[in-house]
Chains A and B, each alone.
Chain A
Amino acid sequence: MAPDEADLAQRFAAGDPDSIRVVYQSYGRLVFSIAYRVLRDAGLAEDATQQTFVQAWRAAASYDPTRPLGAWLTTIAKRVTIDVHRRERRHRGHDDIDGTAASELITLPPSVDHLDDVAEVHSALDELSSQDRTIIRLQHFDDLTHHEIADRLEIPLGTVKSRSHRAHRRLAGVLVHRRTVNGTIDGGGGSDERG
């Protein structure tokens, strides 16, 4: 762990209330991503994110600050999110079965392995520069061609191609590095089942 992260983990484990905002700022988006991946509803994902941090705070005394805080929070987030999913499926499934939101929730949640993938890729993207993330987002999430990205960003096509190549190379490098170093994922290490 980086010194800053180790210090933050120590403060959180010791119950320092001033650490809460910093922990949220560091891991709130990660936790929200995991919740959104399963629940597909921003409101429910908000609830699950809030519950995750409250449960983490309750269990802070049992957290070993030498272990990655992100992995520990990811473990709690997965459990909380699956609980919220089950609750919603139970309640909406009976009576709103034709509703869009309900039918989405009736489907099974992604497996734990897939949630680990979300945590892994999310953490890897966080290591990239804002410019690299933007290119990857436009290409994959917004499904734009290089020409369309060039128009959107008002930059030459050749620049888009070189930035895209660089961004993907960095992302691949981070993913390979994390797998090699950690054996698993740092932000969402599924091996830590405490909490």
Chain B
Amino acid sequence: MNEDDLTPEEIAELERVDALLADPSLWTEPPAELQEKVVEAIAQESGRLRRRRRTRYALAAVAASVVLAVGVTVTVQQVHDDPVQFSATVAPTELAPQAHGDVSLTRTQSGWRITLKVEDLPRRDGDEYYEAWLRNEAGQRVSIGTFNEGDYVTLWAPVSPAEFDTLTVTREVLDDDPGPSGEVVLTAHPQRR
């Protein structure tokens, strides 16, 4: 490039950014669908915020009515019925001693939605994965799902944690055996909130 008509400051700027101009980060385009993903994520976020505000306002109104009606027994009913929920802290075994986290189970029309959040549980890939189970006192087990890493896992169960009160997570390998491997890495005993 003819640099005769560039000032020393401009030449210095071009030299400073020379390596960066070759970096893919400046030229890689985000996928076209990302815009809609962002818009949708924010719409969901706005909905959550609105619901929280509505609940707060409703509770405040109920509290105000209680104050005004002194001497009158008032049954306060929440705007949304509280769903039945269980939760527990998960305990690691010696196979994953660093792992820690918690689990919550919520009854829905479709079954029990189970949210498992575990940190420092090594990721398993390829033919290796984790499988979660619920077990009752009689030793009956129900598989509630499989996953690769435990950051934020949603599982589903058709049975109640009131009866199937032990949750375990095992290390599994893709093979012909659908049963648990016995390599338990996490256990939890959910209690009703």
| Residues of chain A whose beta carbon lies under 8 Å from any beta carbon of chain B | 17, 20-21, 24-25, 28-29, 32-34, 36-37, 42, 45-46, 49-50, 53-54, 57-58, 87, 90-92, 94-96, 117-118, 121-122, 125, 136-137, 140-141, 143, 164-165, 168-169, 171-173, 175-176, 179
Number of A-B contacts (CB under 8 A): 121
Which of B9, B21, B45, B122 meets A94, CB within 8 Å? B122
Q: Interface majority SS on B: helix, strand, loop or mixed?
A: helix
Residues facing A in B1-37 (CB within 8 A) are: 1-2, 5-7, 9-11, 13-14, 17-18, 20-31, 34-35, 37
* A49 near B34: Cβ-Cβ < 8 Å: yes
* B37 near A17: Cβ-Cβ < 8 Å: no
Q: Whole-angstrom distance from the CB of B32 to the nearest CB of chain A?
A: 10
- Among B1, B13, B123, B149, residue most surrounded by chain A Cβ atoms (within 10 Å): B13
Q: Interface majority SS on A: helix, strand, loop or mixed?
A: helix
B contacts with A, residue count (CB < 8 A): 42
Q: Does B162 contact A (CB under 8 A)?
A: no
* A28 near B35: Cβ-Cβ < 8 Å: yes
- Among A17, A25, A36, A143, residue most surrounded by chain B Cβ atoms (within 10 Å): A36
Q: Does B163 contact A (CB under 8 A)?
A: no
The 4 closest A-B pairs by CB, nearest first: A172-B10, A37-B25, A140-B21, A32-B30
Q: Whole-angstrom distance from the CB of A123 to the nearest CB of chain B?
A: 11
User: In the complex, A42→B25 CA distance in Å?
Assistant: 10
* A20 near B38: Cβ-Cβ < 8 Å: yes
